[in-house]
Amino acid sequence: MLDKNLEARTELTSMSYAAEVFLRMLNRYRGSYYKLRNAGPILSDEEQIPRAELRAALDYLQESGYIAARTVKDHTPAHVSDLPLEDMECKLLPAGVQLLGGHIKDPLVRP
């Protein structure tokens, strides 16, 4: 039982780290959509983030209203869990800017 709780907390910490890194990166492109296929070089400067952790982080950020996602091809709204990351682009929403500025507190994201 204790091992499962530790494992769950470790997974949340990894997802939380990925969310923090992605928000900081997306903040550089504030006001415009950023193609996720371009995220590799920027994220490689950080501690290695597994693809599954990045997807979990993006899903959390989208569901929490911090980012918007759409398809690259036809710019229709999309959900992170429905498409390959390479086919999507994201934009920082006002709540995401507030989170980065410290005006919103989220226990899973420490910008």
How does pLDDT run across 73-106, given as a tens digit for each residue? 999 999 999 998 889 999 999 999 999 999 999 9
Q: How buried is 15 (Cβ within 10 angstroms: 0-12 exposed, 13-18 middle, 19+ buried)?
A: buried
Asked if 88 contacts 69 with a C-beta cutoff of 8 angstroms, the reply is yes
Query: What pLDDT score was predicted for residue 46?
Result: 54
Tokens for 9? 């907390």
Q: Characterize 66-80 residue by residue with b for buried, 16 or more Cβ atoms within 10 angstroms of its Cβ, and e for exposed.
A: bbbbbeeeeeeebeb
**Taking 80 as the threshold, does the pLDDT of residue 12 lie above it?**
no
The average confidence (pLDDT) of the chain is: 82
